[in-house]
Chain A
């Protein structure tokens, strides 16, 4: 017989890690977050460059040129599910492929030649030049090279200061927002203020999610000016200051940009989330409420009613099958984690463990308010901790990214892909059904019957 003992849990407590882990209701002190990863802990976090690339990559007609050694470009080539209605240039990976001699003598000349070559070959309007860790050390002046290229080619060439060691993914989001700010041009605000035209920040058009939300808004009588950055282009991004409102979904990556745009262009912003039936409906109402136009409000109610009729029933039917299951969440940012707690509730599932790579203090506070007593909350977790708490808490499923998936499966736990390479939308009313269906497909799969059964080996 195969022994079915629970996993033997070694004492995984690493000095310094205890401050990053809290059990709701047990400790009074605040959870520590937004700090450097502890060496040797096998953190699941990525680097600054990764953060910047995630945010900017969906800009469809840009050349995304990675100034650095080949690996960094290789691992980020076309691994995201952002869709485009126009150019496909963003799906290519360009690298200056720095070699030993470049590291010794500097890579500025090579970078300048690389830009020349690419401009000649692709005739782009916009080039993003990403700094990788090594560029920060050898001291190439990206700003100067880009400036010279602007003069030479008369196009936008924007450096992204994403040197990999200076912070984590969150610092990369900021670097990306800074790059985007440089692109936005001034407009006559007086004319645009009264328009029903908004920017959608923090959606990357994974599996067409920007399109789904834009369709809703259009039915309400509101136009999306440009999304940051799903299915955006150089031209559309430039006009961002035209909008009368910014709606911010992925706050972790975009709140900084929203604040800056408010400061510079006087564009107010509100936080939204289109994950789950409840959040989607509430966010649409919030947007309609902002404009305060009765016609819009009426149309919004009609839309919500129609969508709930179309999709609410199916979500409900999954709820009946999933009621009482327990979920563990480990995702990149706080916004997603918060939305997921609510979304799980919609389908009758309790969250027993929740963590993020780069969540912010205020997001962890919201999480703490939302979850039940006894739920484990943790920041910058490692596989050992994920394993320990999932087993201890008896989670039936984990939501996470590519690296977490095999761990869940090896533990015999169901898994939901909630990352940037997924190929199906989870946003909006239609996304809520997809989510419920995906949860059902993994939690209720027949395969688990065989992993929990013991096999008589006749020994």
Chain B
């Protein structure tokens, strides 16, 4: 079983349009799919789930998403606390409304000691932005004499990436719905040996059967992580 599963939740709007519903209905259905996936991950021993809510490059139709995000955190937080689920958010939070920033910060704080499972939500996230902010962080540490300039290498950059909030920063599998075949600037640094699973299903229709397919595909691959067979 992969310890870390990453998901690009694509297709909410298309799902709604296919049914003659407003986009908001698609996003709400998407939240239900996410809830189901979180339960499955907890049950089946996955330790970390990272989901790409939306990109730093895509601030269209965001107002409704902000409200939905706020509503979801408020309704799910107590459940997450009781089930030992830790919530983390990665991405450029400075662009989020102040109320949402405070809510997220509070949720992260109240669940930081939970260890059964970690849900990482990437909001206004960009893989390139993640690398650049890691470099800024290191620059600050060099300035403060915490780190020497000669010690700057890829390991140091990895420690400063936003995914260092978890013990398992490298996803074993990346699932993208709606049959799009790209990573769209998500977790660029972290995906070197991640198995890609691109599935035709739209995100609101992604359920247990599709997740089993993805995990079966992951388990069947011979993974060498760049090493040769001895």
Chains A and B form a bound pair: no
Chain A residues close to B by CB (< 8 Å): none
Q: Which B positions have Cβ atoms within 8 angstroms of A?
A: none
